[in-house]
């Protein structure tokens, strides 16, 4: 427990350094020269036209008795234009070589201002989204829920695997609180709580898939609300660009996703379950559970601190998905959306370094095109608002600790309490 607290405190300290001073606008850093050559998956032969790369674990094995989802149909002609049917590099005629050191198997650069796809690699290749799928969940929640509706946390929320915002049994959270936990710190517990409010996990996933279809994102199938890998889960660089572009139409999404720091609600003591554990001779009884005061959570999206003009974005990682990211930056009167999928960060060549080179490449090619981002057909978050009425309070489920132990530390001599997520926080799941 102490080691976990120290590890989490270190993370919070580093995140705090990223957001201070809050008012500073960083100067654009030069694109670094990549270190050792990175191995990029060759996609020229369209190995992922129908399904993502093979899974490395059992996360996508269907539940007993459940069928294995069939691959999604491949649209013909390709959505966005014929050139986007290519699986290798797709760049404008006469374009300079793509930036070096980009290790994502699939990527895409688009000008969201006019819907132009500027350049891409395997744009319709199917990959796992990891937590970038939360961009869909956020739009559904903004469309169907009121931001001030109160949701009571449950043990099942707290027990979700991977990153967590700190949703706990008995805690009371507005939908806005949950969206902040979802988008700032990629809380899978917040995703589960939102899914419950949307009618349950299955209903929320169905709504996410309906929205993807309405947006023209036909490579996309959500299997979980959080982005944890599940049977049949997929998306593509092209689809994530569509999904992010649609989310950016809702100023509430932008305001939440671009917030550097929020105060997340505390919660009452988390009840223990089961019979007490016998103490060895001479041992002291453990302290009784205590309530948790509201605490700060910080935005983990480095786009907002490292890139002038950054708008919003969402990162993700699982062992099967590898690193994924979709983010938007305003530059010279244009809004660029860049997606990276199925890649890894290397020392001296981070995902942020690679994003910067892709952004520079897109700016240099502005006005050229290899395709278009299709216009949404409706059902977007900005087009629907939940009806008026009194705020709902969702009753909690059965109480229990789950695996979401919360750790508290003091920051300096301040009276601010930082709740540090102690759920397993395995680096191979659901960021």
Those residues whose C-beta lies under 8 Å from the C-beta of residue 302, and which sit 6 or more positions away, are 18, 352
- At 128 the pLDDT is 98
Question: Which one has a higher pLDDT value, 295 or 41?
Answer: 295
| Confidence at 349, pLDDT banded by 50, 70, 90 | confident
Mean pLDDT over each residue of the chain, to the nearest integer: 83
C-beta separation of 123 from 80 below 8 A: yes
Find out whether 168 and 404 touch, Cβ atoms under 8 Å.
yes
Q: Is 341 exposed, middle or buried (0-12, 13-18, 19+ CB in 10 A)?
A: buried
pLDDT tens column, 203-221:
999 999 999 999 999 999 9
- The tally of CA atoms less than 13 A away on the side-chain side of residue 10 is 5
3-state helix, strand, coil in the chain (%, to 5): 25, 20, 55
Report which of residues 413 and 231 the model is more confident about.
231
Q: What burial letters (b/e) apply to 407-429, b meaning 16+ CB within 10 Å?
A: beeeeeeeeebbbbbbbebeebb
pLDDT at 281: 80
Per-residue pLDDT band at 12 (split at 50, 70, 90): very low
**Residue 37: what pLDDT?**
57
Q: How far apart are CA 35 and CA 354, in angstroms?
A: 12
Strand-pair category, 310-318 with 322-331: antiparallel
Mean per-residue pLDDT, 334-352: 91
Higher pLDDT, 281 or 122: 122
Q: Indicate the length of the chain as a whole number.
A: 431
Query: 59 an active-site residue?
Result: no
DSSP secondary structure, 68-109, as one string: PPPPPP--SSPTT-GGGG-SSEE--TTPPPPPTT---SEEEE
Cβ neighbours, 10 Å, residue 295: 21
Assess whether pLDDT exceeds 70 at residue 36. Answer: no
d(CA 202, CA 206): 6
* The pLDDT value given to residue 342: 96
Question: How confident is the model at residue 277, as a pLDDT?
Answer: 72
SS3 call for 13:
helix
pLDDT band at 229 (very low <50, low <70, confident <90, very high): very high
Task: Kindly provide the residue ranges of all beta strands, DSSP E only, lying in 212-304, ordered along the sequence.
Answer: 261-264, 295-298
Predicted confidence band of residue 285 (pLDDT cuts 50, 70, 90): low
Which pTM was predicted? 0.82
In this prediction, residue 380 carries a pLDDT of 54
pLDDT at 414 exceeding the cut of 50: no
pLDDT at residue number 274 = 63
Report the pLDDT averaged over residues 407-413. Answer: 33
The answer to whether residue 379 is catalytic is no
* Torsion angles phi and psi, residue 21, rounded to 5: -75, 145
pLDDT attached to residue 81: 98
Mean pLDDT of 162-172: 96
Four-residue CA torsion sign, 357, 305, 179, 154: positive
pLDDT of residue 282: 74
Kind and range of the H or E element at 128? none
Residues 6+ positions from 413 with CB-CB distance below 8 Å: none
Q: Is 407 in contact with 293 (CB distance < 8 Å)?
A: no
Q: What percent of the chain has pLDDT over 70?
A: 77
> How would DSSP label each residue in 62-75?
PPTTPPPPPPPP--
Predicted pLDDT of residue 21:
37
> Is 323 one of the annotated active-site residues of the chain?
no
So what's the pLDDT on residue 377?
A: 65
The mean per-residue pLDDT over the stretch 364-375 comes to 96
Higher-confidence residue: 37 or 266? 266
Instruction: Supply the pLDDT for residue 378.
Output: 55
Percentage of the chain beyond pLDDT 90 is 69
Tell me how far apart the alpha carbons of residues 329 and 336 are, in angstroms, rounded to a whole number.
5
Catalytic residue (choose from 59, 131, 379, 396) = 131
pLDDT band for 25, please (50, 70, 90 cuts): very low
Contacts of residue 9, defined as CB under 8 A and 6 or more positions apart, other chains included, come to 409, 418, 420
At 290 the pLDDT is 85
Mean pLDDT of 372-387: 65
Mean pLDDT on 11-37: 42
Q: What distances in angstroms separate CA 151 from CA 18, 41, 428, one per listed residue? A: 31, 43, 28
Interaxial angle between packed helices 188-197 and 201-215, expressed in degrees from 0 to 180 and rounded to the nearest 10: 90
pLDDT, residue 16, reads 39
* pLDDT for 398: 32
Residue 18 has pLDDT above 70, yes or no: no
63-80: average pLDDT: 95
- Poorest-confidence range of 254-263, 347-356, 364-373? 347-356
Beta bridge partners of 265: none
Among residues 59, 186, 236, 396, which one is catalytic? Answer: 186
Higher pLDDT, 415 or 134: 134
Cβ neighbours around 296 below 10 Å, total: 17
Q: Is the dihedral of CA 146, 148, 149, 151 positive or negative?
A: positive
Q: Which residue in the list 31, 121, 134, 207 is annotated as catalytic?
A: 134
Q: What confidence tens digit (pLDDT) does each residue in 105-158 have?
A: 999 999 999 999 999 999 999 999 999 999 999 999 999 999 999 999 999 999
Residue 273 has pLDDT above 80, yes or no: no
Residue 279, strand partner residues:
none
* Lowest pLDDT segment from 286-295, 300-309, 384-393: 384-393
- Mean local confidence (pLDDT), 341-356: 89
């Amino acid at each position: 427990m102490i080691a976990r607290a120290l590890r989490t405190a270190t993370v919070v300290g580093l995140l705090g350094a990223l957001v201070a001073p809050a008012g500073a606008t960083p100067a654009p850093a030069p694109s670094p020269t990549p270190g050792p050559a990175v191995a990029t998956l060759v996609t020229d032969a369209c190995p992922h036209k129908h399904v993502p790369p093979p899974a490395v674990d059992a996360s996508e094995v269907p539940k007993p008795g459940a069928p294995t989802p069939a691959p999604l149909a491949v649209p013909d002609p390709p959505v966005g234009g014929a050139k986007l049917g290519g699986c290798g590099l797709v760049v404008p005629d006469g374009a300079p070589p793509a930036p070096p050191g980009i290790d994502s198997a699939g990527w895409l650069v688009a000008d969201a201002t006019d819907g132009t796809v500027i350049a891409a690699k395997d744009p319709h290749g199917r990959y796992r989204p990891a937590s970038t799928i939360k961009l869909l969940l956020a739009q559904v929640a903004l469309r169907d829920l009121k931001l001030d509706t109160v949701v009571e946390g449950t043990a099942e929320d707290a027990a979700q695997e991977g990153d967590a915002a700190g949703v706990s049994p008995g805690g009371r959270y507005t939908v806005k609180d949950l969206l902040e936990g979802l988008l700032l710190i990629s809380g899978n517990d917040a995703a589960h709580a939102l899914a419950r409010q949307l009618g349950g996990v299955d209903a929320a996933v169905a709504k996410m898939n309906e929205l993807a279809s309405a947006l023209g994102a036909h490579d996309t199938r959500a299997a979980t609300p959080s982005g944890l890998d599940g049977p049949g889960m997929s998306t593509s660089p092209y689809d994530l660009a569509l999904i992010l572009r649609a989310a950016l139409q809702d100023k509430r999404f932008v305001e939440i996703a671009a917030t550097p720091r929020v105060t997340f609600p505390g919660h009452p003591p988390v009840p223990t379950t089961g019979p007490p554990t016998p103490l060895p001779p001479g041992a002291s009884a453990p302290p009784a559970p205590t309530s948790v005061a509201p605490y700060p959570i910080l935005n983990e999206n480095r786009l907002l601190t490292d890139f002038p003009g950054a708008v919003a974005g969402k990162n993700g990682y699982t062992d099967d998905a590898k690193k994924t990211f979709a983010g938007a930056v305003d530059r010279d009167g244009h809004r660029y959306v860049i997606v990276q999928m199925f890649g890894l960060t290397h020392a001296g060549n981070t995902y942020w370094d690679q994003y910067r080179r892709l952004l520079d490449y897109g700016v240099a090619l502005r006005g050229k095109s290899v395709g278009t981002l299709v216009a949404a057909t409706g059902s977007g978050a900005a087009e629907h608002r939940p009806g008026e009425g009194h705020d709902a309070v969702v009753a909690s489920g059965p109480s229990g600790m789950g695996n979401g132990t919360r750790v508290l530390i003091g920051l300096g001599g301040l009276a601010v309490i930082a709740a540090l997520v102690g759920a397993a926080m395995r680096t191979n799941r659901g960021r």
